[in-house]
Structure 1
Amino acid sequence: MQIYQPKNGYCYNSDTLFLYDFALPFLKMRHHLLEVGAGCGVLGLLCARDSKCRLTMIEKNPKMAEFCSHNLRINHTKAHLICADFLEYDFNSQLAQNTKSQKTHSTTQIAFDIILSNPPFYHDDVIKSQNSDIFSARYAQNLPFLDFARKVNSLLKPTGEFIFCYDAKAIFHLFCVLHSYKIRPICLRFVYPKLDKSATLVLCRCKKNSKSQCKILPPLITHIDLNFTQEVLEIYKKAKTWSIKC
């Protein structure tokens, strides 16, 4: 899969590929999947390629949305791409516009089976990039998790799922916010750079209105000494992405 990315801007990294690998077993062909913060489109493209699900993507940066549109086109992937701020975009208003020509008034509300995202999660204490595109894509202040979860809750089906990755150190805040919207974590996997290091990333599958216990998967270790672990190499091999910066 060819993926065009900006030479001087935000580019996807291993977190996105780890999230793709984590989410894929939970995606079905019948699902309507919304990817929030699509960037160049790699996460949604991979998930649509391997699950054949119906795909909607939203990205607020016009430059990144253009890359995403190009990547969808050259990889022959059908998706509804929206260039807008996720927190501000009115999905139901757009649905009403699409159905206004019908003779009967539709009362249908937009609802997704799964919302998937690798959102910005760098905290305020981190030195911030002067590149506006990188700043927008990395730092949590651009998509506060409380606001993010509130909007996700409004767009999920009654038993819909929210799958995302985040800074492992923020897990208490994540769980408190999710609990307030009755979105329960049902599957977690922590990512560690080495066996003797602390977790840096958490991969999280949540389900709305669920009463299930939370399953903790074995950890994903990314490196042994200076080399990628076999599992990481297998994830890269399955993704089969070829990045082109321009």
Structure 2
Amino acid sequence: MQIYQPKDGYCYNSDTLFLHHFAMPFLKKRYALLEVGAGCGVLGMLCARDLSLNLTMIEKNPKMAELCAHNLRINRICAELICADFLTFDFIKSKTNIFDVILSNPPFYHNGVIKSQNSDIFSARYAENLPFFDFVKKVNSLLKPEGEFIFCYDAKAIFSLFSTLYTFKIPPICVRFVHPKVEKSATLVLCRARKNSKSQCEIQPPLFTHLSKQKGQHFTQEVQAIYHHANTWSIKC
């Protein structure tokens, strides 16, 4: 899959590919799926490539939305693309207003991190541009009664994530932590939450990205398999 990305803007990374791998077993044919913060479109397109979905994508940055539209065309993926702010866009007046699944790799860098001076990168990375509480509140209004919210986030924010999800009665039902190495703390959490669920939460085995005793970029077999399956080819433009 060819993915055009900006030379000087935000580019997708391994988090997106890990989220795609995590989410796919939970998706079903013909699901109405909304991707929030589509960027160049790689996450939603991978899901639609692997399974026939009714895909809607929303991206507020016009430059990224233009790239996303181009990537949809060249990869022959059918989707409705909306260029708007997710928090303010009125889905009720649009033709798609209720979803089986909302999928997102949202901005989650916290305020203590040195901020990029590039406005496009700043918008895509930092949580203040999509506060998680406001995000989940809007997600709750758009999901079907047993719809699911599947996303990734900074693992260190797990307490506030779960607190917010329970506040809006979209409790987590499956999580997986991503570690750079066996001896390192988790840096990312992959989470599946279901509206009105009373199920207990499954904790999947951790995903380790690199081999512990190797120097350089020696990925684990599972990560290599994830990259191989995604089979993306990035082109900077």
What TM-score does the superposition give when structure 1 sets the normalisation length?
0.94
Code of the residue aligned with 1:13 in structure 2: it is N
Q: In the TM superposition, what is the alpha-carbon distance from 1:30 to its structure 2 partner?
A: 2.1
For residues 72 and 175 of structure 1, the distance between their equivalents in structure 2, rounded to whole angstroms, comes to 34
> Which ranges in structure 2 are unaligned for 5 or more consecutive residues?
none
Code of the residue aligned with 1:212 in structure 2: it is S
For residues 151 and 74 of structure 1, the distance between their equivalents in structure 2, rounded to whole angstroms, comes to 31
> Which ranges in structure 1 are unaligned for 5 or more consecutive residues?
96-108
Moved over 3 A (4+): none
The residue number in structure 2 matching 1:145 is: 132
Q: Deviations over 1:138-196 (max 9, x none)?
A: 00000000000000000000000000000000000001100000001000000000111
* Secondary structure of 2:86's aligned partner: coil
Code of the residue aligned with 2:26 in structure 1: it is F
For residues 147 and 87 of structure 1, the distance between their equivalents in structure 2, rounded to whole angstroms, comes to 7
**1:169-188 map, 5 Å:** 169-188=156-175
Code of the residue aligned with 1:230 in structure 2: it is Q
The residue number in structure 2 matching 1:29 is: 29
For residues 122 and 6 of structure 1, the distance between their equivalents in structure 2, rounded to whole angstroms, comes to 20
For residues 65 and 166 of structure 2, the distance between their equivalents in structure 1, rounded to whole angstroms, comes to 32
**1:96-111 map, 5 Å:** 110-111=97-98
Q: In the TM superposition, what is the alpha-carbon distance from 1:93 to its structure 2 partner?
A: 1.4
Code of the residue aligned with 2:174 in structure 1: it is C
Aligned-residue Cα RMSD (Å) equals: 0.7
Q: Which has the larger radius of gyration?
A: 1
The residue number in structure 2 matching 1:8 is: 8
Q: In the TM superposition, what is the alpha-carbon distance from 1:221 to its structure 2 partner?
A: 0.1
Q: In the TM superposition, what is the alpha-carbon distance from 1:29 to its structure 2 partner?
A: 1.0
**1:1-246 map, 5 Å:** 1-95=1-95, 110-224=97-211, 225=214, 226=216, 227-246=218-237
For residues 220 and 172 of structure 1, the distance between their equivalents in structure 2, rounded to whole angstroms, comes to 20
For residues 81 and 216 of structure 1, the distance between their equivalents in structure 2, rounded to whole angstroms, comes to 33
For residues 93 and 174 of structure 2, the distance between their equivalents in structure 1, rounded to whole angstroms, comes to 33
Q: In the TM superposition, what is the alpha-carbon distance from 1:52 to its structure 2 partner?
A: 1.1
What TM-score does the superposition give when structure 2 sets the normalisation length?
0.97
For residues 97 and 61 of structure 2, the distance between their equivalents in structure 1, rounded to whole angstroms, comes to 23
